[in-house]
Amino acid sequence: MFQPIELVIFDSDGVLVDSEPIANRVMAEAATAAGAPMDLQEAMELFRGRKIAFCVAEIERRSGRVLGDGFIAEVRRATALAFDQELKAVEGVHEALGLIRQPYCVASNGPLEKLSHTLGLTGLYPRFEGRIFSAYEVGHWKPDPGLFLHAARTLGTDPARCIVVEDSISGVTAAKAAGMRVLGYAGEGPHAATALRDAGAEVFDHMRDLPRLLAQSV
């Protein structure tokens, strides 16, 4: 029997902002230039929901060389520029947030500067201001549960009364390890739905369905 939900914890990339295709395209281009050729699909499969240090380590392993100190800074610069030109909110998320009655926050592997940038570009920042949690604050990156536990503790909520909205396997794994329910957003179709379900998430396909699913958890 599930306990009533008192806090909804959102991932950001791929759940609130449609950033994953943009960020992973930039990473794939950077990896290819560094001697580790890959396309967008492979980058999405490898890097979705992962911290940038993991991405760098994988590119170094594939290329057989150590990347320069400026690699991460250049990837972040190129990604920010691409976001400025292309980033949009996930379809239906503004409407969904307007209908959700439980308190909510965002907890992401990304640095706070990136979160402020992407949420600001998409008009979502005012909805989350003061309730934005970054793995860089706590030193725990998904799939470690520490970030989610930090968010729950800061907002005074028992982990068993939290529900996480995620789109990545690492995020689902972190939420399950934290003792939280997980709703897996499978906006990319059946393949994503199967992977999220196999990881232990309750899967949904459209943000318009989220308020109803959360209302059933009160």
Residues designated as active site = 11
10 strand-pairing partners: 106, 165
Alpha helices in 64-187, H assignment, sequence order: 71-86, 93-99, 112-121, 125-128, 135-138, 146-154, 169-177
Which segments within the chain are labelled E, that is strand? Answer: 7-10, 104-108, 132-134, 162-166, 181-185, 202-204
Cβ burial of 79 (10 Å; 0-12, 13-18, 19+) is buried
User: Using alpha carbons only, how large is the chain's radius of gyration in Å?
Assistant: 17
Query: Both tokens of residue 182?
Result: 């997980």
Strand, helix or coil for residue 9: strand
Compute φ and ψ for 168, nearest 5 degrees. -120, 155
- Contact criterion met (CB below 8 Å) for 183 and 204: yes
